[in-house]
Structure 1
């Protein structure tokens, strides 16, 4: 009765570190306003995911005990969504830059993940694929929450500080397509690991 922490961290890193609504917002904010001005927004984005981790954890983990087939259905639905998202990432065109009067703050950051379907799919996949049946709800939820927050505290500032630099370097060049396809491939690889390796690790 446990959470496959190492496997989940690998999966989580592939999701938190790849392009999505949150990272695109972080990259754009850093590009427009600079790293220091964007820090309140970064903090809000990181903590905002906690607003959905805990309700999902307690609701889904409790529901899984009474309706086990729903747990499996949610898992495959999330896997399908992440594969679809990888295809979108592969065909994404980087368009950094833009202008605004004021940098978004902490409260604006809090709203990013609750409105981000990628975040919902990632969290549900974490609970359905990396948590052993019978694991106490508090233990499972706290582990998922701590793992994701740790990854966000490392990766979100990197996107904010350096993501816009990478975008300016590769946007509109042949390297852009190779970069996006590589990131998409890593996303699909993480899903395949969930299907064929993650369950064995449990």
Structure 2
């Protein structure tokens, strides 16, 4: 596969697997959408997150991500924008904490919002920029052929694994929420989502 050794690919996939089980804004967003609106919303949110990661991979391949990470002003602006966005999501979830999940059907417009918000959540996560710049190139082997093609392959594998994990989490959370869709559990889910988003936003803003 483009000259990359089996050992390199196995190590890369193992590293991705470890990263996938580490909670972050993307995972929390997928879980929150599935828990509040159902399985379909969780899956669509996962697709939005994957689309954002595809943009990050494209930025790495084109060299744009390296320029962003090397610019303190631009990187800080993205960090603060991402923090503000997460906090806004948390406040919105808190405002809806009194409404049962079952009373919030996910219509086509809501599904579209899940995709867009998943995309924006990923794009405004500055750690994904640093991760893409620092992580992907480590597995490129100059002796194994075209470096750009290797980056595209590694990026595609990352997106595929991330999408698989996020869809599984979204589907599982959606089914669980459906079984617990009474007023008490719905309010708890909304409050947990709200606190998680606000906490992630504050942590992102303070990690300067």
Give the structure-2-normalised TM-score.
Answer: 0.56
TM-superposed CA distance for 1:9, in Å, is: 2.7
Q: CA RMSD in A?
A: 4.5
Contact 2:45 2:114 (8 Å CA) reproduced:
yes
Picking from 75, 94, 113, the partner of 2:115 is 113
Confirm or deny that 1:9 pairs with 2:20: yes
Contact 1:16 1:151 (8 Å CA) reproduced:
no
Show the counterpart of 1:70: 68
TM-superposed CA distance for 1:57, in Å, is: 1.4
Give the 3-state SS of the residue equivalent to 1:117 in structure 2: helix
Picking from 138, 159, 163, the partner of 2:152 is 138
TM-superposed CA distance for 1:117, in Å, is: 1.6
Residue segments in structure 1 that go unaligned for 5+ positions in a row: 197-202
Picking from 162, 184, 191, the partner of 1:148 is 162
Give the 3-state SS of the residue equivalent to 1:97 in structure 2: helix
Once residues 185 and 192 of structure 1 are traced to their aligned partners in structure 2, the CA distance between those partners, rounded to angstroms, is: 10
Q: How does 1:27-176 map to 2 (within 5 A)?
A: 27-30=35-38, 38=40, 43-64=43-64, 68-73=66-71, 75-91=75-91, 92-93=93-94, 94=97, 95=99, 96-98=101-103, 112-114=114-116, 116-122=119-125, 125-132=127-134, 135=137, 136-163=150-177, 165=180, 168-170=183-185
Once residues 167 and 131 of structure 1 are traced to their aligned partners in structure 2, the CA distance between those partners, rounded to angstroms, is: 44
Contact 2:90 2:197 (8 Å CA) reproduced:
yes
Confirm or deny that 1:26 pairs with 2:40: no
Offset from partner CA, 1:11-68 (integer Å, 9 cap, x none): 5x322332x4x655534442xxxx6xx4xx6555434544443344123431338xx4
Once residues 193 and 16 of structure 2 are traced to their aligned partners in structure 1, the CA distance between those partners, rounded to angstroms, is: 28
Larger Rg: 2
TM-superposed CA distance for 1:141, in Å, is: 1.6
Higher helix share: 2
Contact 2:32 2:193 (8 Å CA) reproduced:
no
Once residues 90 and 43 of structure 2 are traced to their aligned partners in structure 1, the CA distance between those partners, rounded to angstroms, is: 28
Contact 1:45 1:112 (8 Å CA) reproduced:
yes
Residue segments in structure 2 that go unaligned for 5+ positions in a row: 1-7, 138-149
Aligned residues: 176
